[in-house]
């Protein structure tokens, strides 16, 4: 129902990120990201294989398994992580398709909390704020710590609800 209430800017740009994510052809995860300066949209990107090569739907996901040593409550623990490495992540594509000058002082809206690699790249990209929706618990503690060290505003839209037609079921 249209109540006549205008969407706030967070909802507006996150809705766009979700719309963009529907372009993704990775069956594990659809991620969308947008670059925003003030209230101006400066770029959009989603996760996918490089242009012109078979994508996840054509060639299947390329699953890689890796182990990471973490320290939890003073104890070392090896945790296993599985990810699709066929795709360039949405955040990385966003950096490939936008200019440094546009990114200085800008914000990134992204459907999913960035992984460690993307967080590192975003931290060095000129942007000053990251807004995400779905949590990515595997990397969150070290990502949060780094954002704090870098002075980048890092916030989640916990009460946000994406447009229904943009949601897919994803494997974690
Ligand atoms: Zn994939
Ligand atoms: Zn990533």
In the numeric block, the tokens 């440094």 are attached to 100
Query: How many angstroms is it from 75 CA to the middle of ligand 2?
Result: 27
Q: Can you give the pLDDT of all 172 residues of the chain as single tens digits?
A: 555 677 899 999 999 999 999 999 998 899 999 999 999 999 999 999 999 999 999 999 999 998 989 888 899 999 888 889 999 999 999 999 999 999 999 999 999 999 999 999 999 999 999 999 999 998 999 999 999 999 999 999 999 999 998 987 655 4
pTM: 0.89
State in Å: Cα 29 to ligand 1 middle. 7
Closest by CA to 17, choosing from 3, 36, 1, 4, is 36
Residue 64 Cα, ligand 1 centroid: separation in angstroms? 10
- Please say if 58 is a catalytic residue: no
Ligand nearest the Cα atom of residue 85:
1
Active-site residue, selected from the candidate residues 91, 113, 148, 165: 91
The pLDDT assigned to 172 comes to 46
Backbone angles phi, psi at 3, to 5 degrees: -90, 0
Query: Residues 58-64: contacts with CB within 8 Å, 24+ apart?
Result: 58/25, 59/86, 61/26, 61/27, 61/28, 61/86, 62/86
């Amino acid at each position: 129902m249209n109540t006549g209430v205008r969407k706030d800017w967070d909802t507006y740009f996150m809705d766009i990120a979700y719309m963009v994510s529907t372009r993704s052809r990775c069956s594990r995860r659809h991620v969308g990201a947008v670059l925003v300066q003030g209230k101006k949209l400066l770029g959009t990107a989603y996760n996918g294989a490089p242009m012109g090569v078979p994508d996840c739907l054509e060639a299947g996901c390329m699953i890689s398994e890796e182990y990471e040593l973490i320290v939890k409550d003073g104890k070392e623990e090896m945790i296993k992580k599985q990810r699709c490495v066929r795709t360039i992540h949405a955040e990385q594509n966003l950096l490939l398709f936008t200019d440094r000058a546009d990114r200085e002082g800008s914000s990134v809206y992204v459907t999913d909390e960035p992984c460690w690699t993307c967080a590192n790249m975003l931290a060095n990209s000129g942007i000053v704020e990251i807004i995400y929706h779905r949590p990515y618990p595997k990397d969150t503690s070290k990502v949060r710590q780094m954002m704090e060290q870098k002075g980048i505003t890092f916030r989640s839209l916990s009460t946000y609800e994406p447009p229904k037609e943009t949601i897919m079921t994803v494997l974690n």
